[in-house]
Structure 1
């Protein structure tokens, strides 16, 4: 149904040890200290927690739409619906309208709706119009945020439904 020409990409997980990739990975992961001077770092997914990517050419819209992943999700396109995952990253230029629930949420693009996460990170150029329920929130200089912030009363408030 779907195919990908693997010759067109250099993948970090299949490269020979010590080999220098021809292009650095585009994913800027949510792990690390956030500051306007710090460049985001790529953290490859472990084999048991793969990273799924919804590319910039993908737009997903639907009534009562819910996307779920037991691993990490990098959103580069546009989604109108709810998203659940272990780690959800909304890339620069991407947009989500809905509820994002994940253990770690990193926003580099735009979100309108609600964020529920153990660790929520709003990066430098993010535009967020949302209510945030969190256990830990990091807002970088230059991030645009409109909404409310509430500390989670217990872990169940920010635990994604991955079933």
Structure 2
């Protein structure tokens, strides 16, 4: 990170239903049901994300259901990804679970986070998100 970059953290006790757009790096330990657009993303092992993730780089360690569109992706051994993955560089640690498709390139990855215009909230299922073993 440069001296001028910012970093935001979403704690393990936080549940977000809705899209997140940030011009900062994000560390997410909580649960997100919505699209995430940021510069760099670090996902904690107990985190769960449902939606499309768009970033320059991502280190995934928890549960992801949806699409991932990144330049550089690291899938840690604790990760479980279900969905489409578009990447330029990819590292998958032994033990990671991935169910879906991988495509090198094929999707435009933004140079920086793209601000998302506010829209009416989507009708999301309000059922609590559960991780395996809960």
**Compared CA separation, residues 70 and 104, structure 1 to 2 (3 A):** same
The residue that corresponds to 2:37 in the other structure is 84
Partner of 1:120: 73
Structure 1 or 2: larger helix share? Answer: 1
Structure 1, gaps ≥5 residues long: 1-44
Aligned with residue 85 of structure 2, among 105, 129, 132: 132
The equivalent of 1:59 in structure 2 is 15
- The question of 1:141 aligning with 2:94 is answered yes
Q: Which residue of 1 aligns with 2:6?
A: 50
Pairwise CA RMSD? 1.4
Q: Which runs of 4+ in 1 moved over 3 A?
A: none
Q: Which string of whole-angstrom CA distances, capped at 9 and with x for unpartnered residues, describes residues 6-64 of structure 1?
A: xxxxxxxxxxxxxxxxxxxxxxxxxxxxxxxxxxxxxxx44421110000010011xxx
Q: What do residues 85-120 of structure 1 show as CA deviations (whole Å, max 9, x unaligned)?
A: 110111110010000000001101110000000001
Secondary structure in structure 1 of the residue aligned to 2:108: helix
Structure 2: any 5+ residue segments left out of the alignment?
116-134
Q: Distance in 2 between matches of 1:150 and 1:90?
A: 21
Report if aligned partners of 2:23, 2:113 keep a CA contact under 8 Å in 1. Answer: no
The SS at the match of 1:49 is coil
Higher Cα radius of gyration = 1
- Please report how far the alpha carbon of residue 142 of structure 1 lies from its aligned counterpart in structure 2 after TM superposition: 0.7
